[in-house]
Every structure is written in structure tokens, then in C-alpha cells.
Amino acid sequence: MGRDLTRRDFLRLSGAAAGITALAACAPGAPGDGTGVAQAEQAVIRYAGLEGMGATVERFILPWLEEVGYGWERGSFGQQELTDKIMQSVATDTYLADVFQFPSNARSDVINAGALYPIPDFVLDAIDFDDVLPSIVGTLSWGGQVYALPYDGDIHYSSFRKDLFADSAIAADFESKTGYQLDPESGAKTWDEWRAIAEHFTGWDWNGNGEEDDYGIATMNKRGDTLWWGFHSRATAYAKHPADPSYFIDVDTGEARVNNPGFVRALTEWVEENQNWSPPGGTGFTYGDSLNAMNGGRVVQTYNWDAVTTAAAGEFSIIQGKQGYNHLPGSYEVYNHKEGGWEAFEEPSAAPFLAFGGWVIAVSALTDDSVIEQVWNMAIELTKPESGMWFVTNLTGCSPYRFSQLEAVDEFATGPLQLGEEVAVDYLNAAKATLDHPNAVTDQAFGGWVQYRDALELGVSKAMANEIDPQGAMDEVAAAFDEISDRMGGKERQAELYRLTLGL
Amino acid sequence: MATAQRSVPPARGVLQFSIHDRLWKWLLLLPSLLMTTVLFIAPVVWTLYAAFTDLHLFRVGVETEWVGLYNFQKLLGNSSFWRTARNTVVFMLGVVPMQFLIGMVLAVCLDNVTRGLKLFRTWFLMPLMVSPVVVAFVIGRMLFQEDIGPINSLIRWLGFEGIPWLTHPNWAMFTIMVIDVWQWSSFMILMLMAGLQGVPYDLREAASIDGASFWQTFFRITLPLVLPIAATALLIRIIDAFKVVDIIMVLTGGGPGQATESVTLAIYRAGVKGGDLAFGSSQAYFLLLVMVVFGGAFLALTRRTMSQTKD
């Protein structure tokens, strides 16, 4: 069955045939030798990024580029389109841009294919790389070598209505009915508390709009949108044991773990919560819908990437200054997959999910030598500490990723975001508690992550629509995971890649 | 040489002209042949080849192998695929007849309109000019928003429960159909209006004088004469409906569960997004086969109907 034609050869031949005839000649300004060499005397740096984030990068970097006399071309893509373009250029070994942003989940696919320049030491020194949080360093590295530069520290924050939780009448009523105490400083400490809060705040007029259409939660659970992150943020506390590095698959055998009782319990509860205690349509919410429900004052708790920054913005929110933040809730019971049973803990065991892991900046291995120096200079300018501070303290979609940023209360409180001191402290503490947490769960980043994501979203979505029970859904997901692992080169190979993504 | 020329004098000039003519024809055809080969035939052949391999875009360091019919076997035994196939057929059967019906009724009504016809034509062109993604977002995600959308707000104001337009499997498919019907009925109206204008008025007038009712005239005279254009419009819409992807992606992402996932969306997910070009290609070929068979059967049926009508 084996043939000499490699996948890459095959794709190259096909790409060349089509490209020579139709595309290469038509592309205005395309590099003459196909490698992105800037032919003019002025060094031209080509950048590929998201529409919104790329525009922000351009706005930030253009004055500096003019000062140093570099040219600039920016390719702009939608989120899925950018990932597709990057993966296709990696797979076909063709030039896309000198510098591009990519989702850190794709690092196995991108770095493993030899698509990136390793980051030289002088660049790491220039951007004070030691200041970057270890959990973020993991998303930039492969096999101990750094291949990408930090830009965004994406994680899920638990956010809740601090003002309502601090209301003594509401708190007393809640305690008498549920036995739990509402804590305005931490929000729900366990998922059991989260559920009690969700149920308690559903169906009565706590927002004072005269209608009993208020709800307890809103989460991102639409298939094809951000369901993957919504579900795992809900599942990690049950399925990630502190003494075991494995979560998605077994780091030794590569066998899927997603149908163990920890995941099934999380799905069972998640379905119930979203069907009963979230607003109409809440079983098909995008991440934006869940944010809007929270910022619009319809629900009392959620978890999201941008829960802090959008809640602070007047045009998006009516709850400015009323939210509290924390890392995701934990659980007194965690499923121990190795031992094959639930294990009780005296304190809640949390396993904050480093959802998505953030966008990172990389330099293409196909960048021509004639511009590489200028490209590194630009990368330094974009990711040095001062620049990083600008990005995370403006409404750019970037979250903190440096120790120094987590200490910068004033910049967040009184800078462009105008969080105010109390919210800024809550926000930064929640970020620190998540990014520094010893049991934090790194997002899936071994090869083929998009396929694993689709498989899980299909199974979970079926359970959410009552097409199948949670155990059956997760059994289907596990079978799909195993099949994908086999297709990607075998379970053992995937386990090896998983260990690398975890830095083991 | 001269002897040879003399031996076949009549044929020589004809032959020379023929070669010259053929050469020019081929030279003139060459650009379009090249373009067709590179942009259509080559990808089609390439995709067919890929369907018999285990080609995966994102699998690094592993050679591509010939796997024979494995992808097709996997496809036929895959319950998810059959679900998407069923969804696609349900969608097609739901939207195309409805669009035809609406199109025919409105085209017949407008056939007698003499003033403002240009305005109506422009009006009906407008939905076609809007991107399906925009239509899905504006109508689907905003009007049918379950919590605070205007349609559910009206339903609640009337004292009923809001409808789970996008989160209940059956309602979600219905909503997608409504949006597609809204956008593409205009196409049917315009096509059928054009067809109706080609029906000689004196035929209908003669039938009317002979005492035929409106329905008799419509079914015995108008419809048979409009049939060629109607069949073309139906075929175009059937093919489009088989390939539906845009509004589903925006509205439901294929959910809830797998209730609205179409074959094309599944192909996109497997081949483009997931990088599994082999399995994606096998799905694409299956869809192509179904469309060719269905299209062929439809055309055969149409031809038979037309010949029976002529008889």
C-alpha cells in the first residue's frame, strides 16, 4: 500500500499546476520568486492576521514602521479563514506572509511541520521573555524551543453579579432555600453552588424590569461556534485529577478519556442547566450571545474570555462595575481515571481551563533572508513589554500574559479600559489564579485539533438537543477521538504529541 | 512532388482548407480548453484520486497511501453522514416545491399587471442580490432570536409561548427552510414570469372563447408551454438546495445536534476545516453522484411529460 509520493509532494504538484496557470500571474504584487522576497529596496513586511486584531496591530505598528522606513502589507481574514489559510500554507509549504498570528492550539500542526523560524535569543532578550507567565510560554514552545511570541493570554473567567450576591435580603433567601452562602467576593466556588445559584435566580424579577424573565446562567454552547471551550470549562473540575496530567486523551496510551464519568457528569449537568436556567435560545448560544445576556442584565453568572472588558464598555453593558470575577468553579469530587473512581477532596479542587490559549505571533520559515532582520525588529516592537501593556489595556481582545501586566492595577483601573480599581483587582487576581494554577488545563493542541473539536461539538450538541443521552453522546465522541487519533498517525503518536504540548 | 500534386488535384485544396480551418479552431479553443482543464477537469480528477487515498492536510511526517474503497465504505457505514444526507433531501423537498408554488402563483398574478411591472421585477430581484449570509443573520439570528427577537415577542404578546426557532431540531429545520424560501422564491417568480410572457395571448383568449375555465386554460395551455422554463428553474433550485451550506452555517452551525447539518457542511467540516481531504472528497463524490442521478431522472421525467403534452 505504501507509495513514494508524500502528501507534501502530492499537494505541491497539484498546487503548482493550478497556481502557475491561474493564480501566480494574476496576483498583484505577488513575490516574483514565490518566497515573499521584497524586490524593492525598501524592506516590505507582510503580515497576515484577523480582520479586527490585524487592524489593531496595523494601527499600533504603522507609526513605528514609518519611523524606521519599512514597508507594510497586511492580509486580513476571518477567524476560521485565517486558520484555514495558515494550515493550508503549512501543509503545502507555500508562503503566506512573513509574520502571522495563529491560534496557539494549532502549534503542533504548524510548528511540527517546520513552518516557523525558531525565535532567536536576542529577540527573547529584547522582549523580556522571562516576564511571560510559564503557562503562556508553553503555548509558544515546542520541545523546549520557543517558536512564537506572546500576544494574548486567552482564558475563561468566571463572572458573576457581585451587587446581587452582596444584597443581604437575596443572600438570606438564597441560604434558606439552598443551604449555600452567596459570596460576593468569589462567586460560586463549586459547580454545585453554580447550579444552586442558576436555579435560584431563574424566574423572578431580580433585575427590576417588571417582568419575571430573568435567568441564572448563559453559556456558549452553539455547535460550530465556541461549544468546545464552553463544555471543557464546565468539565475540567470533574475530569482533571490534580495528580494526573492527562485530560483529553491518556498521555501514555493515547486512548480517549472523554467518556469517563467525570465528562458524563459535566455534560449531564450542563444540559440540565442550559435547558432550565438560561434564557430562551440558551441551548444554542454563541459566545457573543452569552456575553450579551450577562452584560444586558438577563443572567447572574457566566464564563467567557471577554467577560471583563466588554462588561466595562458602556456601549456593550448595563452592568458596569457590578461584576465580580474568579477562576472557574471547582468540585469536592473529581474523577480519578487511573484509579477508576470518584475521589473526595476536603477543599474544592479547581482545574481552570486555559481556553483557546490565545493568539500568538510567529515568523514564517519561508521569510526571505533579505528581510529577516527587519522582520525580527518588527516582532520585537510588537511584543515588547510596553507594547504588550498597550494591547491588554485597550479594548483589543487581548488578555494579560505577563507577570508585570498582572501587577499593573493602575493601568487597568484608570487606563483606556477604565475598569476602576475594584474590578481591575478582581480581574487581575482571576487571571493570575487561572494562569498560575497548578491544576490548570492546557487546551487541546496536539495534531488535528480541529477534527477533535468538531467531533466533541457534534456529540455534546446532540445531547443538548436531547437526541441522545449524555453517556451515549460521550461514547460517540470517544470513539470519534480514537478514530481521529488513528487517522493522524496512531494513538501512541498522538500521545507523544500531547506530552509535548504539556511540556512533559 | 509535382506528380503527386497532379494525382489528387480536387482533394488538395479541400484538404489544405480543412487542416487550416481545424488548426484555427483548435488554436481558438486552446485558451478555454486550458482553463477548463486546469480549473475544472484537473480538480475533479484530483478530488476523485484523493477519495481513494488517506490524504490528510495536517498529518505531518506520514506518507499518503492508496486505500482503495475504504473512504466510501466508511461513508456508507457512517450514521452521521446518512443523517446529513437525510437533512439535505428533507431541505430540498421542503423548499423547492414551496418556492415553485409561490413563484407560480405570484407570476400568474403579475402576468396581467400592465403598470408598475418594472417596479415589481426590481422588487423581486432584491432578495436575490443580498448575500445568503446576510439574510441568515438579519432574518434568522435577529428576527427569529428566541429570547428578545420581534417574532417571539409578538407571539408572547399574543399570549402564547415563544417558539424555539433555532434550538429545537424540527423548528430549526423549518426556520432554515423559511429563510431559503424567502430568498429564492423571487428567482422562481422572475423565471416563471419570463416563461408566461412567452405564452401567446391569443391561445388563452381562444380557449376562453371556447368556454374553457381559468383552471382548464392554466393546466392545458399555460402550464405545458411554460414547462421548459419551469423545468430549468426547478433543476437550478434543486441543485442549489442539494448544496446548501451558507445559511445553515450562520444560523445553526448544523445543530441543534445534527438536525440541520447538510452534506455540503459536513464536507466543509471534514475536508476544509478538518484537513481530511480524502474523506471530504469521498463525500463530495457521493453528493455529485446523487445530484447527477436525481438531475438525470428529473430531466427524463420532464422530457416525457413534455412529449406527452405535445401528443
Question: Measured between CB atoms, does B152 come within 8 Å of chain A?
Answer: yes
Per the listing, cell 506518507 goes with B63
pLDDT digits (tens, 9 = 90+) for A216-243: 999 999 998 899 999 999 999 999 999 9
Among chain B residues, CA nearest to A486: B59
A323: which DSSP letter? E
Q: β-pairing, A157-161 with A323-326?
A: antiparallel
Whether B163 has its CB under 8 Å from any CB of chain A: the answer is: no
Q: Which of B193, B180, B184 is nearest to B120 (CA)?
A: B193
Judged by a CB distance cut-off of 8 A, whether residue B47 touches chain A is no
Q: Which residues of A touch B250 (CB under 8 A)?
A: none
Which of A279, A447, A461 is opposite residue B255, by nearest beta carbon?
A: A461
- On whether the CB atoms of residues B96 and B139 are closer than 8 A, the answer is no
- CA separation for the pair A464, B257 (Å, rounded): 7
Q: Which chain B residue has the Cα nearest residue A17?
A: B38
Mutation target to probe the B interface, by most B beta carbons within 10 A, among A3, A5, A7 is A7
Q: What is the pLDDT of residues A1-42, one digit of tens each?
A: 344 555 556 555 555 555 444 434 444 444 434 444 444 468
Indicate if the pLDDT at residue A432 is higher than 90.
Answer: yes
Question: In sequence order, what are the residues at sequence separation of 6 or more whose Cβ sits closer than 8 angstroms to the Cβ of residue A89?
Answer: A95, A96, A115
Q: How far apart are CA A177 and CA B236, in angstroms?
A: 61
pLDDT in tens, B188-211: 999 999 999 888 888 888 988 888
In this prediction, residue B20 carries a pLDDT of 79
Per-residue pLDDT reduced to its tens digit, A305-358: 877 777 777 778 888 889 899 999 999 999 999 999 999 999 999 999 999 888
How far is it, in rounded angstroms, from Cα B228 to Cα A216?
58
| Spatial separation of the C-alpha atoms in residues A197 and A299, rounded to whole Å | 10
DSSP annotation string for B53-105: B---TT-TT----B-TTHHHHHHHT-HHHHHHHHHHHHHHHHHHHHHHHHHHH
Rounded Cα–Cα distance for residues B30 and B36 (Å)? 10
**Between helices B169-197 and B79-111, what is the axis angle to 10°?**
40
Question: Are B259 and A109 in contact (CB < 8 Å)?
Answer: no
Is the pLDDT score of A397 beyond 60?
Answer: yes
Find the distance separating the first CA and the last CA of chain A, reported in whole Å.
35
Alpha-carbon gap, residue A118 to B210, rounded angstroms: 88
Cell 424573565 sits on residue: A213
Cell 468566571, located at residue? A158
* CB neighbourhood size of A38 (10 A): 19
**Cβ neighbours of B59 in A, within 8 Å:** 7, 447-448, 487-489
| Interface list for B 199-238 with A (CB within 8 A) | none
Cβ pair B64:A448 closer than 8 A: no
Cβ within 8 Å, pair B58-A18: no
What is the share, in percent, of chain A residues with pLDDT greater than 70?
A: 92
pLDDT value at residue A260: 97
**What does the pLDDT read at residue B275?**
86
CA A87 to chain centre: 18
- Evaluate whether A238 touches A335 at the Cβ level (below 8 Å): yes
Beta bridge partners of A135: none
Grid cell locating A71 = 514597508
Per-residue pLDDT reduced to its tens digit, B67-84: 999 999 999 999 999 999
What is the pLDDT averaged over residues A258-276?
97
Distance from CA of B58 to the nearest CA of A (A): 6
Tell me how long chain A is. 504
Our CA-based measurement puts residue B196 at a distance from the nearest CA of chain A, in whole angstroms, of 42
> What digits encode the pLDDT tens for the residues A360-393?
999 999 999 999 999 999 999 999 999 999 999 9
Query: Which CATH number is A27-151+359-398's, of 3.30.830.10, 3.40.50.1970, 3.40.190.10, 1.10.260.40?
Result: 3.40.190.10
* pLDDT (0 to 100) of residue A27: 41
Phi, psi of A83, rounded to the nearest 5 degrees: -60, -45
Q: Chain A partners of B275 at a C-beta cutoff of 8 Å?
A: 87, 91, 448, 450-451
**Helix, strand or coil, per DSSP, at residue A164:** helix
Do the beta carbons of residue B266 and residue B249 sit within 8 Å? no
**Rounded average pLDDT over A45-65:** 92
Residues of A in contact with B46 (CB under 8 A): 14
Mean pLDDT of all residues in A434-460: 92
- Measured between CB atoms, does A23 come within 8 Å of chain B? no
B157 touches A at CB < 8 Å: no
Looking at domain A157-355+440-501, what is its CATH homologous superfamily? Periplasmic binding protein-like II (3.40.190.10)
A375 at B interface, C-beta within 8 A: no
Instruction: Decide: residue A503, CB within 10 A, 0-12 exposed, 13-18 middle, 19+ buried.
Output: middle
Query: Is residue B143 packed enough to be buried (19+ CB in 10 Å), middle (13-18) or exposed (0-12)?
Result: middle
Distance from CA of B212 to the nearest CA of A (A): 53
Question: Rounded to whole angstroms, how far apart are CA atoms B300 and A132?
Answer: 68
Q: Which residue of B has its CA nearest to A111?
A: B60
The shortest C-alpha distance from A433 to chain B (Å) reads 33
Model pLDDT for residues A465-492, shown as the tens digit of each residue: 999 999 999 999 999 999 999 988 899 9
SS3 B241: helix
**Of A383, A205, A225, nearest to A304 (Cα)?**
A225
Using DSSP's 3-state secondary structure scheme, residue A398 falls into: coil
Q: Read out DSSP for A73-134?
A: EEEEE-HHHHHHHHHHHHHHT----SEEEEEGGGHHHHHHTT-BPPPPHHHHHHTTGGGB-H
Q: What confidence tens digit (pLDDT) does each residue in A63-107 have?
A: 999 999 999 999 988 877 787 788 788 877 889 999 999 889 888
Query: Is the Cβ pair A448, B59 closer than 8 Å?
Result: yes
Residue B25 has, within 13 A of its CA and on its CB side, a CA count of 6
Residues in chain B predicted with pLDDT less than 70, given as ranges, are 1-19, 310-311
3-state DSSP call for residue A332? strand
ipTM of the prediction: 0.80
Q: What are phi and psi for residue A426, nearest 5 degrees?
A: -60, -45
Does the CB of B295 have a partner CB in chain A at under 8 Å?
A: no
Residue with cell 468553579: A329
* Cell representation of residue A203: 424566574
SS3 category, A317:
coil
Task: Tell me the domain boundaries of chain B.
Answer: 70-310
To test the contact with chain A by mutation, choose from B34, B38, B57, B155 the residue with the greatest count of A C-beta atoms within 10 A, namely B57
CA distance A175 to A249: 39
Q: Which residues in chain A are classed under CATH 3.40.190.10?
A: 27-151+359-398, 157-355+440-501
- CA-nearest of A445, A423, A460 to A494 is A445
Environment class of B58 (CB within 10 Å of its CB; exposed 0-12, middle 13-18, buried 19+) = buried
The model's pLDDT over A292-310, given as tens digits with 9 standing for 90+, comes to: 999 999 999 999 987 777 7
Q: Which residues of B touch A111 (CB under 8 A)?
A: none
Q: Indicate the residue of B57, B152, B252 with minimum beta-carbon distance to A284.
A: B252
How close A334 gets to chain B, by Cα (Å)? 28
Between the two ends of chain B, the Cα-to-Cα distance in Å is 62
Q: What number of other Cβ atoms are within 10 A of residue A397's Cβ?
A: 19
Q: Is A143 on the interface with B (CB under 8 A)?
A: no
Calculate how close chain B gets to A224, using CA atoms only, in Å. Answer: 5
For A:438-497, CB contacts with B below 8 A are: 447-448, 450-451, 454, 458, 461-465, 467-468, 487-489
Contact A257, A246 (CB under 8 A): yes
- The reply to whether A275 touches chain B by the CB within 8 Å rule is no
| Angstrom distance (rounded) from CA A100 to CA B256 | 34
> Are residues B60 and A447, on separate chains, in Cβ contact within 8 Å?
yes
Given B34, B253, B256, which is nearest A225 (Cβ)? B253
Q: Which residue has the cell 441522545?
A: A468
What does the pLDDT read at residue B15? 55
At A278, list the grid cell: 438560561
| pLDDT value at residue A174 | 97
B131 to chain A, any CB pair closer than 8 A? The answer is no
Give the one of B66, B253, B257 whose C-beta lies nearest to A224's C-beta. Answer: B253
| Rounded CA separation A423/A417 (Å) | 11
Q: Which three cell numbers stand for residue A274?
A: 442550559
Q: Helix A470-487 crosses helix A491-501 at what angle (to 10 degrees)? A: 100
**CATH architecture group of domain B70-310:** Orthogonal Bundle (1.10)
